[in-house]
Amino acid sequence: METDRISIILISEDREDLQMAGMIASVGAVSGNEVTVLVSMNALKFFLKGADDRAPAAGQMGEMLQRKKAPSFKTLFQQAAELGDAKIHPCSMAMDVLGVEWRDLETFMKEPLGLTKFLNDAKGGQVWSF
Protein backbone atom coordinates (compact mmCIF):
# COMPACT_ATOMS: atom_id res chain seq x y z
CA MET A 1 0.00 0.00 0.00
CA GLU A 2 1.34 3.42 -0.97
CA THR A 3 2.02 5.60 2.07
CA ASP A 4 2.18 9.37 2.09
CA ARG A 5 2.96 11.81 4.83
CA ILE A 6 0.10 14.21 5.51
CA SER A 7 0.67 17.18 7.81
CA ILE A 8 -2.25 19.34 8.90
CA ILE A 9 -1.99 22.65 10.71
CA LEU A 10 -5.25 23.61 12.38
CA ILE A 11 -5.80 27.15 13.68
CA SER A 12 -9.42 28.04 12.82
CA GLU A 13 -12.43 28.09 15.14
CA ASP A 14 -14.92 27.83 12.27
CA ARG A 15 -16.91 24.62 12.22
CA GLU A 16 -16.44 24.11 8.48
CA ASP A 17 -12.64 24.30 8.77
CA LEU A 18 -12.52 22.02 11.79
CA GLN A 19 -14.83 19.51 10.07
CA MET A 20 -12.81 19.40 6.83
CA ALA A 21 -9.55 19.04 8.74
CA GLY A 22 -11.06 16.17 10.76
CA MET A 23 -12.28 14.48 7.58
CA ILE A 24 -8.85 14.65 5.95
CA ALA A 25 -7.12 13.49 9.15
CA SER A 26 -9.44 10.52 9.68
CA VAL A 27 -9.72 9.30 6.10
CA GLY A 28 -6.02 9.95 5.47
CA ALA A 29 -4.99 8.04 8.57
CA VAL A 30 -7.20 5.00 8.02
CA SER A 31 -5.96 4.78 4.43
CA GLY A 32 -2.45 4.01 5.62
CA ASN A 33 -0.92 7.49 5.50
CA GLU A 34 1.23 8.95 8.25
CA VAL A 35 -0.90 11.80 9.54
CA THR A 36 0.34 14.51 11.89
CA VAL A 37 -1.89 17.35 13.09
CA LEU A 38 -0.66 20.47 14.87
CA VAL A 39 -3.49 22.20 16.72
CA SER A 40 -2.83 25.86 17.46
CA MET A 41 -4.35 29.36 17.81
CA ASN A 42 -8.16 29.49 17.99
CA ALA A 43 -8.60 25.75 17.41
CA LEU A 44 -6.85 24.58 20.55
CA LYS A 45 -9.59 25.46 23.04
CA PHE A 46 -11.90 22.85 21.51
CA PHE A 47 -9.38 20.12 22.42
CA LEU A 48 -9.47 20.80 26.15
CA LYS A 49 -10.96 17.87 28.08
CA GLY A 50 -14.75 18.11 28.03
CA ALA A 51 -14.79 21.31 25.91
CA ASP A 52 -17.97 22.00 23.95
CA ASP A 53 -17.34 21.02 20.32
CA ARG A 54 -20.16 23.16 18.88
CA ALA A 55 -17.84 25.51 17.03
CA PRO A 56 -19.41 28.61 15.46
CA ALA A 57 -20.51 28.16 11.84
CA ALA A 58 -18.89 30.47 9.29
CA GLY A 59 -21.73 30.02 6.84
CA GLN A 60 -24.77 28.04 5.79
CA MET A 61 -22.92 24.75 5.42
CA GLY A 62 -21.70 24.90 9.01
CA GLU A 63 -25.26 25.39 10.24
CA MET A 64 -26.43 22.45 8.12
CA LEU A 65 -23.67 20.21 9.46
CA GLN A 66 -24.99 20.84 12.97
CA ARG A 67 -28.64 20.45 12.02
CA LYS A 68 -28.11 17.24 10.04
CA LYS A 69 -25.98 15.73 12.78
CA ALA A 70 -22.81 15.10 10.79
CA PRO A 71 -20.18 13.39 12.95
CA SER A 72 -18.53 16.01 15.17
CA PHE A 73 -15.03 17.12 14.20
CA LYS A 74 -13.76 15.98 17.57
CA THR A 75 -15.06 12.47 16.92
CA LEU A 76 -13.27 12.51 13.55
CA PHE A 77 -9.95 13.47 15.15
CA GLN A 78 -10.41 10.83 17.83
CA GLN A 79 -11.10 8.20 15.13
CA ALA A 80 -8.05 9.39 13.20
CA ALA A 81 -5.93 8.75 16.30
CA GLU A 82 -7.56 5.53 17.45
CA LEU A 83 -8.32 3.80 14.15
CA GLY A 84 -5.54 5.23 11.98
CA ASP A 85 -2.80 6.06 14.47
CA ALA A 86 -2.76 9.76 13.51
CA LYS A 87 -0.55 11.89 15.74
CA ILE A 88 -2.50 14.91 16.98
CA HIS A 89 -0.34 17.39 18.86
CA PRO A 90 -1.10 20.67 20.59
CA CYS A 91 1.15 23.55 19.63
CA SER A 92 3.45 24.32 22.55
CA MET A 93 3.24 28.06 21.96
CA ALA A 94 -0.58 28.08 21.98
CA MET A 95 -0.55 26.03 25.20
CA ASP A 96 1.67 28.61 26.88
CA VAL A 97 -0.57 31.48 25.75
CA LEU A 98 -3.73 29.65 26.83
CA GLY A 99 -2.06 28.66 30.12
CA VAL A 100 -2.93 24.96 29.84
CA GLU A 101 -0.99 21.74 30.46
CA TRP A 102 -0.92 18.53 28.41
CA ARG A 103 -3.05 16.82 31.09
CA ASP A 104 -5.82 19.40 30.46
CA LEU A 105 -6.27 18.15 26.87
CA GLU A 106 -8.29 15.25 25.48
CA THR A 107 -6.59 11.90 26.02
CA PHE A 108 -6.08 11.28 22.30
CA MET A 109 -3.80 14.34 22.10
CA LYS A 110 -0.08 13.52 21.91
CA GLU A 111 2.67 15.55 23.58
CA PRO A 112 3.05 19.28 22.79
CA LEU A 113 4.95 19.98 19.60
CA GLY A 114 6.99 22.98 18.41
CA LEU A 115 7.02 24.35 14.89
CA THR A 116 10.60 23.34 14.15
CA LYS A 117 9.89 19.64 14.54
CA PHE A 118 6.52 19.91 12.81
CA LEU A 119 8.09 21.59 9.78
CA ASN A 120 10.99 19.14 9.68
CA ASP A 121 8.64 16.16 9.83
CA ALA A 122 6.37 17.67 7.16
CA LYS A 123 9.18 17.84 4.64
CA GLY A 124 8.39 16.10 1.37
CA GLY A 125 4.77 15.35 2.20
CA GLN A 126 1.36 16.96 1.75
CA VAL A 127 0.70 19.97 3.98
CA TRP A 128 -2.83 21.23 4.64
CA SER A 129 -3.80 24.26 6.67
CA PHE A 130 -7.18 25.20 8.10
Binding site for other proteins (CB under 8 A): 1-2, 23, 26-27, 30-32, 68-71, 76, 79, 83-84
Least distance (Å) between residue 61 CB and other proteins: 12
Question: What pairs with residue 89 in β-bridges?
Answer: 38
Do 94 and 41 form a contact (C-beta atoms < 8 A)? Answer: yes
Least distance (Å) between residue 119 CB and other proteins: 28
Least distance (Å) between residue 29 CB and other proteins: 10
Q: Which is nearer to other proteins, 4 or 96 (CB)?
A: 4
Q: Which is nearer to other proteins, 82 or 101 (CB)?
A: 82
Q: Which is nearer to other proteins, 71 or 114 (CB)?
A: 71
End-to-end CA distance of the chain: give it in Å, rounded: 27
Question: What pairs with residue 10 in β-bridges?
Answer: 39
Q: Which is nearer to other proteins, 7 or 33 (CB)?
A: 33
* Spatial separation of the C-alpha atoms in residues 81 and 98, rounded to whole Å: 24
For 50, residues 6+ apart whose C-beta sits below 8 A from its C-beta are: none
